[in-house]
Structure 1
């Protein structure tokens, strides 16, 4: 609770999480605070990271501070500008910390701090295996400058992983002046690059790799030594699981990210798929555990959630819109004439523990198979709330294929049952974007900040 008001908590401050805050603040700012829990000190513009691994000079711009104006987009289109109006963005708070566990009424941070919530959205995405390590801007900049130095010195570079990150890194290397003469090899475990997008994008990317002289090894894996590769000692052999090896001076590992769903284990472990570790969700994006205790006020979106959509920022933003709509409907369904639920009138009746935060148990909220929620408010007559359901869109992506531009690729929906799949939409982006949109992100999220090292 911040300033004595109940909270809507969003865990994870990347693209999907911050969009959730943007959407929620205008809805709840008069009654709630929206608290973003983020482990890192700065917003990380991940789209710039492949290029920053090779191209120097803008890596510091990929880390954007959570300034007082970071969520000013939440104020766009505000109509209520009376003297007593509260700007939606003022309800947005950022707490730096690692969420250790989610509980029925609060989030426990590794620092020991408890953050209570009425509603919670898990938007932690994916990340490397092992303990979570907060990254500050200074450390992040040093990491990418080290990558750049190693890329400059290396003659043979191996990129492990033929997804968007690996392909963008490889094509940037071969189109950036100081590194364009390096020998680059992509090793991918599947039979197609960008395998989630079908043969169309695979062909586009393969043609580009051939044009740039990038070698591609498919249906094979790199054997990573237990202690990692010993770089800096001259060329070494990179062993392949299918036999043979590749000579390298530098290896970029663009694989191995796992869903960061661990905080949910303390609340609803059966909502986490035991094999994939993705969070199981209902069409309404509420977590879908098999426990007898439902948590209809807890949602999961973005890469951490098993929504049926491909993992990218655009589907995650659409999911954030669905969740914001559902939270608004739930709040309106449970709020009384004074703007508070019957268990939280003026913040006094029954207290916060027995009101908002615990109101879901008092109201016995349950979801029907048809997607409706039946809420019994303190034993009064029941209401039926129709919650919005998320429908995954067809896969699409906008990706760089080198310093000069990239491609926009999107599958189209089937026109009807049994119809042939229409050809994907393909548009080539020939406009150079050397800093991968960092300037735009600063303009939107850090208005008035001129020190890009902040």
Structure 2
């Protein structure tokens, strides 16, 4: 690389792609190189994927599977479609290399890990080219179209939005949400917001079972059985379990980190599998490795919207590391906010400012429900 320092980003999802675009504008091409590694040849705009996998309306596969063609600016950067299978670190804090499943090895001076999340089956898109994703989308649309009784396991935002899309586009179908706590979402959000969401969901005809769990999603004779023995009619089960993509069977990345650094698992991952970071986004004991996004252990809700708050801090700290300086910026978190759609024209939004602001159908539809922020996302990625 002719003596230039290389920044390697592992993961080209919402966070990784945003950081790659920003760095391509900030790095000096005479001094630096940039490599983005992702297992798919496109960015998935996840806020649109629930509707995209439920119905063919709006043909979202044409707009929210975003190509990388114009992501990097000023001709700075290379995109590799591959999986990282190993990290080989040199002396601690002095760079290293990543090995790809293609057989290639790429040196890094600063490594940014943005692996994101492992999503449940409807949103678990295959690796590789876009055609495979389109086939996956069409398969799930058919499942939703053919089903009459749909059980959604988990009443977080994704579960609520799946129930809302089905209720909107297939009003004759019966949808049941099974949720362990006694209110939708989680305790990050105030009860008044959680109750408002419940009211909005019930008004669409969706049934909610609180205080129960699905340990086995097997459909037997047209029914599923909850932990407490309740039988629910079902011919399709959608289980919403999201976890950090740090212990996947398809990558040895984090195992190799532990071996390469002679570290214990607690040095890199917490008990839930999240990457342990400092407020500078650096890993605890490894100053030349940073991490951002859904897979980090920072105590805040995991949302792609958080990228806009994390991005300037990470970019400033990477530039400082490349120049041999200590990272100057610390992340203090940001306010919690969420926009939960309930089909195209409904939903509830919450902003944790002042007394906690709740906004209903008109605002939520205008901000997200109708178009799912696809146009803005494409502009942010250079299209």
User: Normalised by the shorter chain, which TM-score bucket?
Assistant: 0.7 to 0.9
CA positional deviation for 1:6: 2.9
1:430 to 365, 373, 378: 365
1:11 is aligned to: 10
Q: CA deviation at 1:444?
A: 4.7
TM-score, structure 1 length as denominator?
Answer: 0.73
- 8 A Cα contact 1:53 1:169, kept in partner: no
The unaligned stretches of length 5 or more in structure 2 are: 90-95, 259-264
**Kept in 2: contact 1:223–1:238 (CA 8 A):** no
> Do the aligned residues in 1 keep the contact of 2:309 with 2:334 (CA within 8 Å)?
no
* Corresponding position of 1:164: 157
Q: Which residue of 232, 256, 259 corresponds with 1:266?
A: 256
Q: Does structure 1 residue 94 correspond to structure 2 residue 79? A: yes
Deviation at residue 439 of structure 1 after TM alignment: 4.1
- 1:125-140 to 2 correspondence within 5 Å? 125-128=116-119, 134-140=127-133
| Alignment match of 1:409 (pick from 341, 350, 362) | 350
Residues 287 and 296 in structure 1, CA contact (< 8 A), matched pair in contact too: yes
**Structure 2 counterpart of 1:65:** 67
Equivalent residue of 1:94, what SS?
strand
Q: Deviations over 1:360-401 (max 9, x none)?
A: xxxxxxxxxxxxxxx7xxxxxxxxx46211111232112212
What SS is found at the alignment partner of 2:315?
A: helix
Larger Rg: 1
Quote the offset at 1:14 in angstroms.
0.9
5 Å-filtered alignment, 1:136-285, equals 136-176=129-169, 179-195=170-186, 196-225=188-217, 229=219, 236-260=222-246, 263-268=253-258, 269-285=265-281
Determine whether 1:123 maps to 2:114: yes
Q: Aligned equivalents of 2:82 and 2:119: distance in 1? A: 18
Per the alignment, in what secondary structure is the counterpart of residue 21 of structure 2? helix
C-alpha distance in 2 between matches for 1:43 and 1:152 = 26
Task: Name the CA shift for 1:182/1:42 in 2 (closer, same or farther; >3 Å).
Answer: same
How many residue pairs match? The answer is 357
Structural RMSD (CA): 2.5
Shift of 1:440: 4.1
Q: CA deviation at 1:100?
A: 1.0
Judged with a 3 Å threshold, the aligned counterparts in structure 2 of structure 1 residues 128 and 260 are, in CA distance, closer, same or farther, namely farther
Q: Is the 8 A contact 1:236 1:247 kept in 2?
A: yes
1:302-451 alignment, distance < 5 Å: 302-332=293-323, 334=324, 385=326, 387-412=328-353, 422-427=354-359, 428-431=363-366, 433-445=369-381, 447=383
Cα shift at 1:116: 0.6
Question: Counterpart of 1:53 in 2: which secondary structure?
Answer: helix
Unpaired runs of 5+ residues, structure 1, are: 73-86, 290-294, 335-374, 376-384, 413-421, 448-454
Q: 1:287 aligns with which of 283, 287, 312?
A: 283
Give me the TM-score of the superposition, normalised by structure 2: 0.85
When residues 440 and 26 of structure 1 are mapped into structure 2, their CA distance, relative to the original with a 3 A threshold, is: closer
The one-character-per-residue Cα deviations of 1:293-332 (angstroms, maximum 9, x if unpaired) are xx21100111111112211112233223211111222333
Tell me, in whole angstroms, the C-alpha distance in 1 between the residues paired with 2:352 and 2:231.
36
